[in-house]
């Protein structure tokens, strides 16, 4: 099998028609209103509230700042329980709020927080739970809420990968107190860089909007120590254009995922990530697990595929609990996180984006099957 002529990356962004982008830019230039809650920003907030099926939403310049603000807005302190199997941004937002992360193990099937192990991690200092819908797979939201209610804890979800994920038709951004979505260029829906918070309690919006704008209430009053988390008009305009491409992109990714599943179903040692019934997939990543029966381990598959110009990613290796900044925390001890330690050696994200030809997917699968021989 010949290598691909050009690298096949794990993802590629959707790109709006340049003429339409120029038209949007002309409107922005004409208005001379570039940021600070302009018309495009307002329109995108309205549109996304509908698309994500949430009661309220606030846009941000990126997902990480949004998550920092989410924690500020609920006044969390002390300790917050989170998952080690995620992108660095998730635990990092805690020390930025002077909070200690407490790592809890993950569930073997969903790879999200193991809700059954949460209670063991709660101490008198715990104020919240920060779950991650990793690869767009929902956390066990009902059980997590039940534990949170029993102990009076707040629940925040990192839904960076979960744009469009739904549980029985209910938008994923409606669970818990606040959810954060990332609109980074690598995401199914993007605004170049960007993000949003969604929440059920409409009273949170004024506080969140103040926090993302330096705490400025009016020309003469600054009422809280806010930050600059504002999305600008160019980002919002790109978002409005990308919304038009969303359904098409989802449909193409759906076909690609089906093609991978069909091709890899009977390869011993390769396990695909199954989305349970009732869950609408976000099609953000296509992850496989490479088990011992495959013969080659995950790292070897990653290296071999690179020789064919297939650039896969080991999201999310290493575990956050293994970063030098967190390693010494008692909860970061590998004995506390056996499932996460096993999973993180097996996961591999294969290329997934609408522009990927089905022929290329077939070829990638053939390369994987050949590696097995
Ligand atoms: N929470 C979770 C669970 C997250 O996954 C993330 C972000 C966040 C929070 C924070 O949200 P933001 O603050 O970012 O809104 C990428 C993204 O930069 C990051 O946003 C994302 N998660 C993470 C999973 O992936 P890298 O370091 O893997 O990116 P990079 O530059 O290696 O890009 C990956 C591939 O994407 C490239 O090989 C090619 C392609 N690509 C990338 C970019 C930037 C393009 O084709 N075009 C592009 O412009 O982190």
Nearest CA to ligand 1 atom 39: 9
**Mean pLDDT over residues 204-219, rounded?**
97
**What is the whole-number distance in angstroms between the Cα of residue 322 and the centre of ligand 1?**
20
Q: Label each residue of 170-208 as H, E or C.
A: EEHHHCCCEEEEECCCCCCCCCCCCEEEEECCCCHHHHH
- Report CA-CA distances (Å) from 232 to 9, 36, 55, 193, 228: 28, 7, 23, 10, 11
**What is the whole-number distance in angstroms between the Cα of residue 270 and the centre of ligand 1?**
25
Provide the pLDDT confidence category of residue 137 given band limits of 50, 70 and 90.
very high
Q: What percent of the chain has pLDDT over 70?
A: 100
Provide the pLDDT confidence category of residue 206 given band limits of 50, 70 and 90.
very high
Q: Bin 104: left if φ > 0, else alpha if -120 < ψ < 50, else beta.
A: beta
pLDDT at 369: 96
Nearest CA to ligand 1 atom 15: 63
Closest ligand 1 atom to Cα of 65? 13
Closest ligand 1 atom to Cα of 313? 28
- pTM score, whole prediction: 0.98
The alpha carbon of 336 is separated from its chain's Cα centroid by a whole number of angstroms, namely 24
How far is Cα 322 from Cα 101, in angstroms, rounded to an integer? Answer: 13
**Mean pLDDT over residues 98-107, rounded?**
98
**What is the whole-number distance in angstroms between the Cα of residue 220 and the centre of ligand 1?**
39
pLDDT at 373 over 80: no
The angle subtended at Cα 93 by Cα 111 and Cα 66, nearest 5°, is 95
Nearest CA to ligand 1 atom 5: 87
How far is Cα 55 from Cα 201, in angstroms, rounded to an integer? Answer: 8
Report pLDDT digits (tens) over 1-57: 899 999 999 999 999 999 999 999 999 999 999 999 999 999 999 999 999 999 999
Report pLDDT digits (tens) over 44-62: 999 999 999 999 999 999 9
**Mean pLDDT over residues 65-71, rounded?**
98
**Mean pLDDT over residues 259-275, rounded?**
95
Closest ligand 1 atom to Cα of 67? 9
- Among candidates 313, 239, 314, 273, which has minimal Cα distance to 112? 273
**What is the whole-number distance in angstroms between the Cα of residue 76 and the centre of ligand 1?**
27
- Please list every protein residue whose CB sits less than 6 Å from any atom of ligand 1: 9-13, 62-64, 86-87, 89-90, 132, 158, 160-161, 182, 184-186, 195, 311, 315
Report pLDDT digits (tens) over 213-255: 999 999 999 999 999 999 999 999 999 999 999 999 999 999 9
pLDDT at 372: 83
Nearest CA to ligand 1 atom 20: 184
Nearest CA to ligand 1 atom 24: 87
- For a ligand 1 pocket test, name from 186, 315, 353 the mutation site with the most ligand atoms within 8 angstroms of its C-beta: 186
For the chain, strand residue ranges (E) read 56-60, 79-82, 100-103, 126-132, 154-158, 166-167, 170-171, 178-182, 195-199, 216-218, 221-222, 270-272, 279-280, 286-290, 347-350
pLDDT at 1: 83
How far is Cα 322 from Cα 176, in angstroms, rounded to an integer? Answer: 27
How far is Cα 201 from Cα 14, in angstroms, rounded to an integer? Answer: 32
**What is the whole-number distance in angstroms between the Cα of residue 295 and the centre of ligand 1?**
30
- For a ligand 1 pocket test, name from 6, 66, 87 the mutation site with the most ligand atoms within 8 angstroms of its C-beta: 87
**If you average pLDDT over every residue of the chain, what do you get?**
97
pLDDT at 104 over 80: yes
């Amino acid at each position: 099998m010949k290598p691909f002529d050009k690298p096949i990356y794990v993802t590629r962004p959707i790109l709006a028609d340049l003429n339409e982008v120029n038209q949007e830019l002309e409107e922005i230039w004409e208005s001379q209103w570039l940021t600070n809650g302009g018309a495009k920003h307002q329109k995108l907030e309205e549109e996304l509230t509908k698309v994500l099926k949430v009661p309220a939403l606030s846009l941000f310049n990126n997902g990480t700042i949004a998550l920092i603000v989410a924690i500020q807005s609920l006044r969390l302190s002390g300790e917050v329980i989170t998952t080690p199997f995620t992108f660095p941004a998730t635990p990092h937002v805690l020390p930025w709020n002077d909070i200690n992360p407490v790592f809890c193990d993950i569930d073997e099937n969903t790879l999200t927080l193991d809700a059954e192990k949460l209670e063991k991690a709660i101490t008198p200092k715990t104020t919240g739970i920060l779950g991650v819908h990793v690869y767009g797979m929902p956390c066990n939201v009902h059980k997590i809420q039940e534990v949170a209610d029993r102990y009076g804890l707040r629940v925040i979800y990192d839904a960076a990968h979960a744009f469009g994920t739904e549980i029985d038709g209910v938008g994923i951004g409606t669970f818990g107190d606040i959810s954060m979505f990332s609109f980074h260029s690598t995401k199914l829906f993007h605004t170049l860089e960007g993000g949003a918070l969604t929440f059920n309690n409409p009273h949170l919006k004024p506080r969140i909007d103040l926090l993302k704008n330096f705490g400025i209430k009016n020309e003469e009053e600054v009422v809280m120590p806010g930050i600059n988390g504002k999305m600008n008009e160019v980002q919002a305009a790109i978002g409005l254009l990308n919304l038009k491409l969303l359904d098409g992109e989802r449909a193409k990714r759906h076909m690609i995922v089906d093609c991978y599943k069909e091709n890899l179903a009977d390869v011993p040692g390769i396990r695909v990530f199954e989305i349970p019934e009732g869950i609408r997939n976000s099609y953000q990543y296509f992850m496989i697990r490479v088990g011992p029966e495959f013969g080659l381990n995950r790292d070897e598959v990653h290296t071999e595929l690179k020789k064919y110009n297939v650039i896969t990613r080991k999201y999310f290796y290493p575990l956050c609990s293994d970063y030098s900044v967190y390693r010494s925390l008692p909860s970061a001890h590998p004995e506390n996180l056996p499932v996460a330690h096993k999973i993180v050696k097996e996961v591999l994200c294969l290329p997934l984006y609408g522009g990927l030809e089905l022929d290329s997917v077939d070829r990638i699968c053939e390369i994987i099957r050949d590696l097995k021989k």
